[in-house]
Amino acid sequence: MPEKKLKVYCETSFWSYLNGHPTPLQHVAVKQAATLQWWQEIAPKCEVYISQHVNVEAKDGDPIRSQMREKSLEGMNRLDGLIPEVRQLAKTLLDVQAVPEKEVTDAAHIATASVYGMDVLLTWNCTHMANPVTLPKTAATIGKAGFNCPVIITPVDFLARREEFGT
């Protein structure tokens, strides 16, 4: 029986670090290296997904890096982040302030990953997504809506716990 692959939704910040400018800033370079390592070592063992929210955000910023992000998104499995269930869950996350009301797209990423049953939401957004203070409220809200909250984690934390994920 074939082994079940981990379903991973990669939010836009993942793609930004994967395609970022080389930098002398140590904290950014560490994130870029971990993102590249995850992409090379872990992604081939997973089913990687994005949504149109990633596509839209990937077009922002530096035109050269934007083209690089768009190129890296080609051929990715795509989820429809505009279906009613996703919209309703995103609205609920905003209404209960699990995600700040101005962070509509962040709520949409979390809702998309949850509604489609992703195992993991991979992100560098530690303010509104991979935030240990807000995650309990996020997970409880998702559970009350009848969905399972994916593990919301950064690439570096994923790599540190890779055995737990079976990768």
Q: Which of 15-24, 26-35, 40-49, 61-70 has the lowest mean pLDDT?
A: 61-70
pLDDT band at residue 159 under the 50/70/90 scheme: very high
- Cα separation, 3 vs 122, whole angstroms: 21
Residues 112 and 53: beta-carbon distance below 8 Å:
yes
* Whether residue 62 has pLDDT greater than 90: no
- Cα separation, 48 vs 10, whole angstroms: 7
Kindly report, residue by residue over 34-45, the tens digit of the pLDDT. Answer: 999 999 999 999
Residues 143 and 120: beta-carbon distance below 8 Å:
no
Average pLDDT, the chain: 94
pLDDT band at residue 127 under the 50/70/90 scheme: very high
Label the pairing between strands 6-10 and 46-51.
parallel
pTM score of the predicted model = 0.94
Q: CA distances (Å), 18 to each of 78, 98, 118, in order?
A: 18, 27, 21
pLDDT band at residue 166 under the 50/70/90 scheme: confident
* Whether residue 1 has pLDDT greater than 60: no
- Cα separation, 112 vs 93, whole angstroms: 12
Residues 12 and 103: beta-carbon distance below 8 Å:
no
* Whether residue 162 has pLDDT greater than 90: yes
SS (H, E, C) 119-130: CEEECCCCCCCC
Helix (H, G, I), strand (E, B), or coil: what is residue 150? coil
pLDDT at 2: 60
Q: Which of the pair, 21 or 158, is modelled with greater confidence? A: 158
If residue 159 lies in a helix (H) or strand (E), which one and from where to where? helix 155-160
Segment 86-91 mean pLDDT: 98
Contacts of 2 (CB under 8 A, 6+ apart): none
- Cα separation, 72 vs 119, whole angstroms: 22
- Cα separation, 80 vs 113, whole angstroms: 10
Segment 118-144 mean pLDDT: 97
pLDDT at 20: 87
Residue 129 has φ and ψ, to the nearest 5°, of: -120, -75
